[in-house]
Structure 1
């Protein structure tokens, strides 16, 4: 069994382009553009078109956490060059480093790089 979070988006194509900048690859897409399934390594992500989120759906949103193999400073430069605004630049954390962005529909995405020397 594989866990696949589903992100509700207002524009599937725009969201696909955004997540492809983070390294996701398209697995399949609904021919009417209402659904796309992406993969990043062993992880999957569903993009589901929804014209408008209800208030209860907005309150149920979750954050997306990604772990980067690419040095975060390099990723940060790539995101800035692609015009992706950073909510928080690379920061030193208790576990290593992180940076924060938002997807085109405002989903909070924290990208982490763990430092193995900080773990037992």
Structure 2
């Protein structure tokens, strides 16, 4: 599983330039420019447009090759109730609240769907 923090920003292009200058690599991006991925040696930063949340908000996401149904079942056995596995434009995902009530998203990405 790979950790993928999602950073919401008021200006995706400016934030992209900043994190590229910091040393992250160029990754996939949406055609309209509302999100971009910036791979690093051991993970990735995702920048998303902050149209529905405050700029500077961060969300924790993970990418996995494991079937999401298995992840969801393991969470249930541990006493956490994940939402349904959803088909989305980028692949499939499941969301669950951590012990502090913060949403965490786990993605099984299909790069052919969104790049």
TM-score interval, smaller chain: 0.3 to 0.5
Provide the TM-score with structure 2 as the length reference.
0.47
Query: Which is bigger in relative contact order (C-alpha 8 A, separation at least 6)?
Result: 2
TM-score, with normalisation over the residues of structure 1?
0.46
